Amino acid sequence: MVLKLTSGVSIAAPTFTFYPATSGTLGGGASTRVVNSSITVVGFVGNGGTLTFNNVDGGTAGGTKLVSFDYINGDVTFSNTACSNCRNTMVSVNGGAAVQVQMPLSAQSWDILFSGYLVSLSGSRRERRIP
């Protein structure tokens, strides 16, 4: 498929604030794991394991925000009828109702990072808690 775009409008690139998972609050069996000399990840999130990001600035207006996740999913499975080779992640903003986010397979290894997976989330206060 070939697309020809005309009359384009320039927009400013989105800006992101990086919150490393290792600075979050771990609970219920979630723990850190060193992948290599530059990457440490949080594992065992789910089935009771939680990761909470504290003091995340969502702005004074709240509303819908674009969130970028870096993650590793090396779990090849065909039994997930909602999304083949995905992990279903529940994300809650400010203690509100959790939203299901499907994280696709990043590789057939637990050492390959998928960067920049974008998710749109809604909230109404400055602090965002993402368990």
Give the pTM: 0.63
Confidence of residue 125 (pLDDT cuts 50, 70, 90): very low
Give the closest residue to 30 by CA, choosing from 44, 15, 17.
Answer: 44
In this structure, the answer to whether residues 77 and 119 fall within a common structural domain is: yes
State whether 78 and 115 are in the same domain.
yes
Measured distance CA(65)–CA(68) in Å, rounded: 10
* DSSP-based three-state secondary structure for 23: helix
| φ, ψ (nearest 5 deg) of residue 21 | -60, -30
Q: Work out how many domains the chain is built from and give that number.
A: 2
Min mean pLDDT across 35-39, 43-47, 79-83, 111-115 is at 79-83
* Residue 78 in domain: yes
What is the three-class DSSP state of 64?
Answer: strand
In this structure, the answer to whether residues 72 and 119 fall within a common structural domain is yes
For residues 39 and 76, state if they share a domain: no
In a domain, 6, yes or no: no
Same domain, 24 and 71: no
Instruction: Tell me what pLDDT residue 80 has.
Output: 66
Q: Which domain holds residue 26?
A: 19-56
